[in-house]
Every structure is written in structure tokens, then in C-alpha cells.
Amino acid sequence: MAAKLKEYFPMIREREEVLAVIAKDSVLQDKFDSWEPEQQEEFLNICTGVKGLKLLYDGFFKELMNPEYVPERLNDFLSGLLGQKVKVVKVLPNDSVRIADESSLLVMDIVVELEDGSIANVEMQKIGYLFPGQRCACYSADLLLRQYKRVRGERKKKFSYRDIKNVYTIVLLEKSPREFHEYPDVCYHFFEQKSDTGLKMEFLQKYLFIPLDIFRNSRQNRDIKDKKDAWLTLLSSDEPETIIELIETYPEFREIYKEGYEICLNVERVMEMFSKELYELDRNTVQYMIDEMQDTIDVQKNEIDAQKNEIDTQKNEINAQKDMIDAQKAAIDKQHRKIEEMQKEQEKLYHQSISGTVNILRSLNIPEQEISMRICEQYQLSGKQAQKYL
């Protein structure tokens, strides 16, 4: 099949040619040797057409879909996703403050103003964030406020709220969070606010989530049915058979692949791009695991708090019973013993929780100093108290 791709893109190199280029440069050879065998194979498959281009790689995507260089591609892409003809007028600075250190999970994050004044934020995530709805609502609100301030500043006394246009948050997920997999046959999730009474009122915040992993699985053994399918196939598939089907059905995509394979002729550049992707993948995975681990920690902490509340409640009951008749003294003593046992169990769970957290963080190769900082913050410990767990 690599030979078939080479029929369409004759600039694709043979495996021996790529290895020869690497061998001539000791720096490139050292970098290549530092990769795991499966990573070496993946890199060679990309460069030689055994597999298609990884267009979600940061270097490929920003070069081939840059709205400043090839705005017609982003126009066509957004038109297909939103189901209406759009035109990108300009790229807006993405200067809003992120809620957390989120950039590590993003391949692309651009904000554009459309011809009708609407704003579209387009994100490409390697690994989908936890709490996607809450996060996107906050970011969309920030974009809406930025638009309001900008338009009000431009219009001054002539300002009207009808001057504020829609804000679209479009999120493409290479690996989608678990809630999306409850809908294994649905690849487009569009959200907007509606009344439960049928009253029509224009709200400005719209959301579109596209799980590319679900799209890739669901389109197996079926044809590309429309332009929207074509764009998502371009971004999600690296199978040569699918690529050939795509460029024969939609010849305009052939130029994108051609430019991508021309980039591959610069082996040093593509190796640097590949190394960056490997680094980001590791970083993304660690970040995602930390986020999931935080959920576990929160559950444990809630259980501990619940036990503490129960203990406090029982203590109050015991204190109230101390004024009762002497005949109840035996029952009070029994409850005291129960509370002591629960306190020991709660203290044991508390220590186990801290120790478990330290072990998990160590398994992720997080430095000891950072581990100390994390458990101090999570469990309200002093540095001295934290040391006995390290």
C-alpha cells in the first residue's frame, strides 16, 4: 500500500533513503537510537507512506491549516462543521487566562472572527480533559466577555446588545473522555441553551464536541458521505486505503497531503516534530493520570470527612447524655469505645491515603520536592510532617 501512496505522491522516500539521511548526521542518529523500536517504526512508516501523515501533529497541523497562509482551508473546515458557509475574517489573539495549566493537552487552540461577527474558538485536544462541559462553559464565557468589551469599546454610545454575536466553542478530541463513549455511534455533539416552555430567545454560546476516536471507529466499512466526513477523515485516519479513497472523492485534499509529504523531505525537521510529539504525549498522559488520581483522592477525602462528621456527631450525643441518669453510664462507656475505634480507623485511613498518594506520584516519576508540596497542600501538612511520608 506504501507503493500505492507513492503513485499519488512520488516524493515519498523509500525506507533505505530515510535511514541513510539519518545515518549521515550523528545528532539525528543519536536521536533516532534514543527512541523505542516501535517509535522508530512509527516514524519510518510516516516518512515512507506505509502509514499516512499524522496531521494532528502540531507541526503538520499548524503548517497545513494555518489561517493566515491558507484561510480557505479553515473556512471550508468550519463551514462543514457548523453546517453553514463561514469566512474567517481574522485571527484574534488568544490572550485569555486559562483555568489551569491546560496547554499541554492541546494540539491547537485558535480564536477567529467570522464574517458575521461571530467568534469561533477551535481546539484540538490529544487527550480530552475531565469535566469538559464545565471547562468549556468557563472558557466560552471568557470569550463572550472579551467580545462584549471589544465591541462596546468600538461602538461606544451606539452600542446595543444585538451587536454581540454568537460564540462557538469547537472541540475536536483525538482521545475522548469516557462520557462520550456512552454514545458509540454519535460523532457530533452540539449544545445550545433552550427553554423548557418553547419560548424563543437568542442565547449566544454554542458548543460542538467531536470525538475523533469514535468517528474513526464508526466510519469503518462505510464510505465518506459528505464534506464534514471528509475533513474528519483527513484529521483522524492514517490508513493508506482511506487516504486514497479521500483524495479520489475530494481531490482538493490531495494538495494538503502533497504539502505534508514535502515537509517529510526535511528529515531533521520531522524528527524534531516527532520528538516533540513523543514528549507531549508523555506529558499529556501524566497530566491526565494526575487529574484522574485527584478524583480518587477527593473520594478518599470525602470518606474521611464523612467519618469525621459522624465521629463529631456521636461526640455531641455523648456529651448531651452525660447529664442523664447514672443508669445510662454503661451505654455511654460502650459508645466511647466505639468512637475510639472509629478514630483509630479514621487516622489509619488518613495515613494510608497520604502514603497511597505518595506512591502514585512516585510511580509517575514526579520529583520528591513536588510530591512534598502536593501532599502539604492536599492534606494541610507542614513540611516537617510531610517528611515522615517520604
Strands 119-127 and 189-191 turn out to be: unpaired
CA angle, residues 372, 135, 174, in degrees to nearest 5: 90
Instruction: Give φ, ψ of 197 to 5 degrees.
Output: -105, -10
**Measured between alpha carbons, how far is 152 from 160 in angstroms, rounded to an integer?**
8
**Measured between alpha carbons, how far is 263 from 261 in angstroms, rounded to an integer?**
5
The pTM of the full predicted model, rounded to 2 decimals, is 0.63
pLDDT at residue 319 in the model: 77
Q: By C-alpha distance, which of 314, 279, 220 is closest to 31?
A: 279
pLDDT along the chain (390 residues), means of 10: 76 91 90 88 89 80 80 87 81 56 54 84 73 81 89 90 91 86 90 91 92 85 82 89 91 91 88 74 53 63 80 81 70 82 85 85 84 84 83
pLDDT at residue 128 in the model: 65
Residues linked to residue 322 through DSSP beta bridges, in sequence order: none
Non-local CB neighbours of 227 within 8 Å, separated by 6+ positions? 76, 79, 80, 250
* Element at 122 (helix H, strand E): strand 119-127
Burial 163-185 (b: 16+ CB within 10 A, else e): ebbbbbbbbbbbbbbeebeeeee
Which amino acid, one-letter code, is at 364?
A: L
**Measured between alpha carbons, how far is 250 from 292 in angstroms, rounded to an integer?**
41
**C-beta of residue 254 within 8 angstroms of C-beta of residue 5:** no
C-alpha cell of residue 204: 449566544
The answer to whether the Cα torsion of 141, 144, 150, 153 is positive or negative is negative
Measure CA of the first residue to CA of the last residue in the chain; give whole Å.
54
Non-local CB neighbours of 46 within 8 Å, separated by 6+ positions? 52, 53, 54, 238, 264, 270, 274
C-alpha cell of residue 129: 480533559
pLDDT at residue 281 in the model: 60
In order of 155, 168, 171, 189, 191, the CA distances from 133 in angstroms are 32, 14, 11, 11, 10
pLDDT at residue 87 in the model: 84
Domain boundaries, the chain: 58-237, 286-387
